[in-house]
Structure 1
Amino acid sequence: MSVGVDVQHEVQQGVQPGQPGQQDVEYVTLHGKRRAYVKKGAGPALLLLHGLACDHTTWSHVVDDLAERYTVIAPDLLGHGLSDKPRADYTLGGYANGMRDLLTVLGIDKVTVVGHSFGGGVAMQFAYQFPERTQRVMLVSTGGLGPEVSPMIRLIQAPGWFRTIGLLTLPGIRHVETAALRAASGHLTFGPLRKYTRDLDEVADIVESWKDRRTRFAIRHLVRAVIDWRGQIVTMADRAYLSEAMPMAVLWGAEDQVIPVAHAENARALAPDVRVDVLADAGHFPHKDHPEEFVRLLDDFISTTEPAAYNRARFRRMLKAGASAPLGPLAAAAAAEARDETVTSA
């Protein structure tokens, strides 16, 4: 059975006024749903995945610099930004499939995937589902490394959230809220309160986007797929051992108030070979707080690691060996291969 992919390209000037590095937005229709993305530069491909309730503009501070050396693809995930917001599959697996289809239409075979927050969960799912198309993974203040998450995000899946936010984003009320959030972010730039206010401009943008009931619908369904009242449901812990076959880096802001920076150490414990960097004086958006350092770290990660080479036999042996192998999955896989060869010879 074949699935039709209707491809239509348009170009529209970026519609976010005042944003640095304003980009042209292109569109492609996949399976009847229009998806927005930015594509810029030439060289090895980078897929930049934004976080919950954000869009491609979260990468505006770094796209131009990265495009000098790489082909940068920064999509609006379905239900976000300028992409359609239908009644659809908002699971991690569904998003990974959507990214696979987008890359296929764009003629891009393999990528280094960079995911921020919820986008980090999509990045890990993409690498898990499509290891043959993933060269490296960088996770930025990512979900999936522990249950803890901001109570404000947990509330999204609570009964009554949809209607309450509908009231709070009515004209007038919304304008007062967003103006107060941006004022706090812009004026409280130092002192002990800074770690609580540095990301409030992003929160203001999210509140502004929630005036659209379709956006609220998509966000609610997305959150219910990955978070319950106790916190994050989805975890990479049971599959972290597979990272031994793929270069992985983790980047966090030391003052993250959305997902605890302690989760960066969880990554190191789950996957000892992972690179971990924590940026001081940075919150949940370290790529915006320190764009030059972010570009440097990402460029160093790519230039000093070999892209993963997918081998189905090795992947199968790693899965069979599992995370509990005393010598580590790769050593156990090698031992299994040796046993197979011995049996074959016999």
Structure 2
Amino acid sequence: MKRRTLLKFAALVTAASVMPLPAFADTHQAQDKSYMTVLGQKIAYVDEGEGRPVVFLHGNPASSYLWRNIIPHLSATHRVIAPDLIGMGDSDKPVLENTYADSAEYMFTFLDALDLKDAVLVIHDWGSGLGWHYARTRPERVSAIAFMEAMTPGFIPYESYESLGDFAEFVHNVNTPGVGEEMIMNQNILLDQFMRYGSPNGPLSDEVMAEYNRYYPTAESRKILLDWPREIPIAGEPADVYEVATANNAWLLASDLPKLMFHVDPGAILPMAQAEYLQKNLNNLETVFLGQGGHFVQEDYPDEIGKALAEWLMRF
């Protein structure tokens, strides 16, 4: 299945889905956060439980709030850590010169300061790019990775705009001066359209969207949401992200780390065809097909993800 633009994908989402009986009641409330000063800026993070650390890394345009209904499945038996990326959520929002490189420096410094051992990463969207990068460069700290709607071989880097298929229209518009600002900063399409209408269970509630939007009260505050898609590497640019993505892909295809992949149909950046490719080509991979879904699978299937993570972690 071709990748759709964000707007086309949102328009095609249907409401047909079976709602599972949750083991934990879904909540709209944000969890309490701790703060650590990193490179002169505060990083906000959820830190609950004790035991083997499990680190949840969100992407764009989300925050640690994305994991709120999954964390309770693990926090009774593990130490669960869910940071807000720099510039996002309740973390400080400095001006970043290079979005990916600066975000990686803040996040890796934060994670190193926790002195994690035998950690499990649970990653999504740009959090997956950061997560693969961290695991690749800190093999002594990370012992397993679970991922969903993640950046994997075949998705990035792209050799040309043409290789993006239908996704090219969105990326081209984002990279066009003035057009990207109008779409993401002024119209707020990533939150108010793509995220809100990306669930097959229907639109996310006003209460949930109020929390996701709380961090971005003005158009200018949403610049970080625009900066992230402008980091998608195409034809070698941005060179630093292209290099990281290439290295991540090569490492991932060779790695024997235990991996758990969650996927849905049609998905957005990890469609069925991509999931099948990864099943054939990744070592030590287990998979969980969740059902019909979009990009924000954590909103669609928190109970299923939480249960599967807990069961997977009991085995090693």
Relative to the length of structure 2, the TM-score reads 0.72
User: Given that residues 126 and 151 in structure 2 are in contact (C-alpha distance below 8 angstroms), is that contact kept between their aligned partners in structure 1?
Assistant: yes
How far has the Cα of 1:56 moved from its partner?
0.4
User: Given that residues 111 and 134 in structure 1 are in contact (C-alpha distance below 8 angstroms), is that contact kept between their aligned partners in structure 2?
Assistant: yes
Q: Deviations over 1:287-309 (max 9, x none)?
A: 3322222112212222223xxxx
User: Given that residues 115 and 142 in structure 1 are in contact (C-alpha distance below 8 angstroms), is that contact kept between their aligned partners in structure 2?
Assistant: yes
1:45 aligned partner: 53
Q: Distance in 2 between matches of 1:262 and 1:199?
A: 27
User: Given that residues 42 and 71 in structure 1 are in contact (C-alpha distance below 8 angstroms), is that contact kept between their aligned partners in structure 2?
Assistant: yes
Segments of 5+ residues of structure 1 without an aligned counterpart are 1-17, 306-346
Match of residue 64, structure 1, among 64, 72, 94: 72
User: Given that residues 21 and 61 in structure 1 are in contact (C-alpha distance below 8 angstroms), is that contact kept between their aligned partners in structure 2?
Assistant: no
Q: Which has the higher contact order (CA 8 A, sep 6+)?
A: 2
Counterpart of 2:278 in structure 1: which amino acid? A
1:105 aligned partner: 113
What secondary structure is seen at the aligned counterpart in 1 of 2:55?
A: strand
Q: Superposition pairs for residues 5-84 of structure 1, below 5 Å?
A: 19-20=27-28, 22-84=30-92
Q: Distance in 2 between matches of 1:215 and 1:180?
A: 18
What secondary structure is seen at the aligned counterpart in 2 of 1:220?
A: helix
How far has the Cα of 1:205 moved from its partner?
6.6
Q: Deviations over 1:244-290 (max 9, x none)?
A: 2x111211122324542322223223314322222113322223322
Q: Deviations over 1:153-176 (max 9, x none)?
A: 66433321124544435xxxx9xx
Farther-moved stretch of structure 1 (46-55 vs 152-161): 152-161
Farther-moved stretch of structure 1 (147-156 vs 19-28): 147-156
Q: Distance in 2 between matches of 1:80 and 1:20?
A: 18
Q: Distance in 2 between matches of 1:94 and 1:180?
A: 26
C-alpha change, 1:238 and 1:62, in structure 2 (3 Å) is same
Counterpart of 1:249 in structure 2: which amino acid? L
Q: Percent identity?
A: 24
2:252 aligned partner: 240
How far has the Cα of 1:76 moved from its partner?
0.3
What secondary structure is seen at the aligned counterpart in 2 of 1:135?
A: strand
User: Given that residues 198 and 283 in structure 1 are in contact (C-alpha distance below 8 angstroms), is that contact kept between their aligned partners in structure 2?
Assistant: no
Structure number with higher helix proportion: 1
Q: Distance in 2 between matches of 1:200 and 1:128?
A: 37
1:119 aligned partner: 127
Counterpart of 2:177 in structure 1: which amino acid? P
Mapped pair 1:271 → 2:279: no
Segments of 5+ residues of structure 2 without an aligned counterpart are 1-25, 156-163
Counterpart of 1:261 in structure 2: which amino acid? M
User: Given that residues 92 and 121 in structure 1 are in contact (C-alpha distance below 8 angstroms), is that contact kept between their aligned partners in structure 2?
Assistant: no
What secondary structure is seen at the aligned counterpart in 1 of 2:117?
A: coil
Which of structures 1 and 2 has the bigger CA Rg?
1
Mapped pair 1:296 → 2:307: yes
C-alpha change, 1:52 and 1:165, in structure 2 (3 Å) is closer
Q: Distance in 2 between matches of 1:243 and 1:249?
A: 13
2:154 aligned partner: 146
How far has the Cα of 1:209 moved from its partner?
5.1
User: Given that residues 58 and 66 in structure 2 are in contact (C-alpha distance below 8 angstroms), is that contact kept between their aligned partners in structure 1?
Assistant: yes
Match of residue 187, structure 2, among 157, 168, 189: 168
How far has the Cα of 1:104 moved from its partner?
3.5
C-alpha change, 1:128 and 1:154, in structure 2 (3 Å) is farther
Q: Superposition pairs for residues 262-341 of structure 1, below 5 Å?
A: 262-305=273-316
C-alpha change, 1:301 and 1:268, in structure 2 (3 Å) is same
Farther-moved stretch of structure 1 (64-73 vs 145-154): 145-154
Alignment size in residue pairs: 272
Relative to the length of structure 1, the TM-score reads 0.66
1:225 aligned partner: 231
Q: Deviations over 1:162-196 (max 9, x none)?
A: 24544435xxxx9xx949985x67xxx8xxxx48x
C-alpha change, 1:109 and 1:214, in structure 2 (3 Å) is farther
Farther-moved stretch of structure 1 (93-102 vs 106-115): 93-102
How far has the Cα of 1:208 moved from its partner?
6.6
How far has the Cα of 1:66 moved from its partner?
1.3
User: Given that residues 38 and 74 in structure 1 are in contact (C-alpha distance below 8 angstroms), is that contact kept between their aligned partners in structure 2?
Assistant: yes
